[in-house]
Amino acid sequence: EPTLEGKLLRIVLRGQFFLYNQIRLMVGTAVSIVTGALPEELLEMALSLTTEMHMPLAPPTGLLLRTAGFSRMDQRAGACAMDPHQAKECMLPDGGFTLMDDKATVAAQAFVKHVEADMDVQWRESGEADAWRAKLAGIQAPSGAVLEELRAMLLVTSRENRDFRSQQADSDQKRREAQLANFGEKSCVGLLPRRFAADLMVRFRLVPGWRVTNIQASLAARMRNWHQDPSSKPEKM
């Protein structure tokens, strides 16, 4: 999203943890593709293949840890959210505490704008913007025989991944049927697809917390009810 009247572009990333230089690599790769320095197909290759690829690393200027929170710690440690908005998103338990109230949140937002203004100065006066543009212009993407080899490897990997997902789906179906047959089991384990929670959080921009747990528990309960009473199951479900 644009900030500072369009002078800068703010990119917001949220996750449970990040690897060293991960964000700079993500941003550097995205900028390289949208500017045409790298072909878009190279992104899929980098994500799918085991071949090590050195993707462009964005400058560190502008990288800012905006907020953090711990909504699902051990009960002995308690639950914590950074601000009221985050507390609502993660359904902070009654015993949890919020680090900043509404007044402090407004002050933090004002501080971010101050930091962004300083980033704008650093980008222009340090020459880092020009250096980054020059680096992008000098990127040499794979071509010729190397690119064709990568494409062939991607085809093989894609085929293997499809076969693996198909086998995994069959295994999940058998496990789901076994769990549904066990009426005494109330857990959602084995009923929902693998990586369901992770995909749910990414798709609907949820944060780890009781909301995700409750959604899974509710879906599992409905699946058990539909198994016992098929007539209650909605069409195309």
pLDDT in tens, 192-218: 887 888 888 888 878 777 788 888 888
Contacts of 156 (CB under 8 A, 6+ apart): none
pLDDT in tens, 81-112: 888 888 887 777 777 888 888 999 899 889 98
Q: Would the pLDDT of 190 be above 80?
A: no
Instruction: Return d(Cα 33, Cα 56) in angstroms, integer.
Output: 10
What's the mean pLDDT in 119-123? 88
Measured from the Cβ of residue 58, the count of other Cβ atoms closer than 10 Å reads: 23
> What's this model's pTM, rounded to 2 decimal places?
0.71
What pLDDT is recorded for position 89?
A: 78
| Per-residue pLDDT band at 53 (split at 50, 70, 90) | confident
Q: Output DSSP code: residue 40.
A: T
Name the CA dihedral angle for 153, 156, 161, 167, rounded to a multiple of 10 degrees.
-160
CB 49 within 8 A of CB 153: yes
**How distant, in Å, are the alpha carbons of 3, 56, 61 from that of 117?**
9, 25, 12
**Counts for the chain of helices (H) and strands (E), in that order:** 8, 4
Instruction: Return d(Cα 84, Cα 103) in angstroms, integer.
Output: 11
97 three-class SS: strand
142 three-class SS: coil
| Per-residue pLDDT band at 78 (split at 50, 70, 90) | low
Helix (H) or strand (E) holding 98: strand 97-98
Assigned token pair, 218: 């509710």
